[in-house]
Amino acid sequence: MSQNNQQTDLWRGFWRLADPKITLASMAAIFLGTCTAAARGPLDWGWLAVTVFAYFCIEAAKNASGDIFDYVTDQRVPEEDRTPFSGGKRVMVEGILTRNQTIAIAVVLYLLAFVAGAAIVFLREPAVFWLGLVGAFLAFFYNAPPFRLAYHGLGEIACAISYGPLITVSTYMIQRQSLSWEVVLLALPLGLLIANFLWVNEFPDYEADRATGKKNMVVRLGRRRAGRVYVAIHAAAILILLLLPLTDLPLTVWLAVPAVGPGLYAMRYLLANPEQAYKVAPVQPMTLVSFLLFALGGGIGLLLG
């Protein structure tokens, strides 16, 4: 292989690990935290840029380390069950990157995230240290031993914590240099909706995960019962949203209510045919749209309120 082809594959592999459509989860949480902060004062755009950079790096690093530790599982996903949202990034399975290249990308990205995080802690807001530490732990050990959270039915909880309170609250704290319980409450339904995105993405990987001992909650429950839990998670998120104006948050946060729609669409197919729903209907993209609408509507609602 020529050097040009090797460089092309390296960049193609990096771009797949960066995966903008999945990175939307962390960007949605950053957006919501930023809007909450902007509703209470001017933004520091420089530190917002550092925040975005730090979370982009750790997100892509997580994807890289996940491909390393999930290599055997990803190999077992049959062609007919592969989707753009599940089955791993497959940079090693498809031969785009070697194992050493994937490890190198993961190490560099984790180091860059560490440097950005250290700058925030020492130069801006020391209190986010513990949030960053928990975030790094959940990102790396989501797939990595010895904890392998995703293999023990804890990955969904880790996802809800990371993409809800952790990212949203840390973004707010970096801007306002204080903690507000209202932003914590607002982050809870977002975390649930993003966890539901992970949940529905586990349906196509069900057989491969079960065969390789990756006992996430969909594997533990089976796809039919997991479809009903999907409904419960979505309903809980919307219920929290509807109750938010009982706190100090403005009624305009209900601009996030359109997030109900895509979730209802996905529910219909998951309940009717949980074994094949991801093949006959865009239940994964609709779940993605659901949390994006929540972040967008909730953020704009805060600014208007």
Pick the CATH number of 3-304 from 2.40.390, 1.10.10, 1.10.3470, 1.10.600: 1.10.600
Q: How far apart are CA 89 and CA 61, in angstroms?
A: 12
What is the CB neighbour count within 10 angstroms for residue 167?
Answer: 29
Determine if the pTM surpasses 0.85: yes
The share of the chain scoring above pLDDT 90, in percent, equals: 84
Q: Which residues of 224-263 are buried (b: 16+ CB within 10 A; e: fewer)?
A: eebbebbbebbeebbebbeebeeeebbebbbbbbebbebb
pLDDT for residue 91 is more than 50: yes
Confidence band, pLDDT 50/70/90 cuts, at residue 248: confident
Q: What pLDDT does residue 11 have?
A: 87
Q: Across the chain, which distance is largest between two alpha carbons, in Å?
A: 63
The share of the chain scoring above pLDDT 70, in percent, equals: 97
Mean pLDDT across the stretch 163-179?
96
Residue 137 near residue 171, CB atoms below 8 Å = no
Summary mean pLDDT of the chain: 93
Q: What pLDDT does residue 1 have?
A: 47
Cβ neighbours for 220, distance < 8 A, ≥ 6 positions apart: 153
pLDDT for residue 115 is more than 70: yes
pLDDT, tens digit (0-9, with 9 covering 90-100), for 136-151: 999 999 999 999 999 9
Q: How long, in residues, is the chain?
A: 305
Task: Tell me how many degrees the CA angle 212-214-220 measures, rounded to the nearest 5.
Answer: 120
What is the end-to-end Cα distance of the chain in Å, rounded? 58
Residue 18 near residue 56, CB atoms below 8 Å = yes
pLDDT, tens digit (0-9, with 9 covering 90-100), for 203-233: 999 999 999 999 999 999 999 999 999 999 9
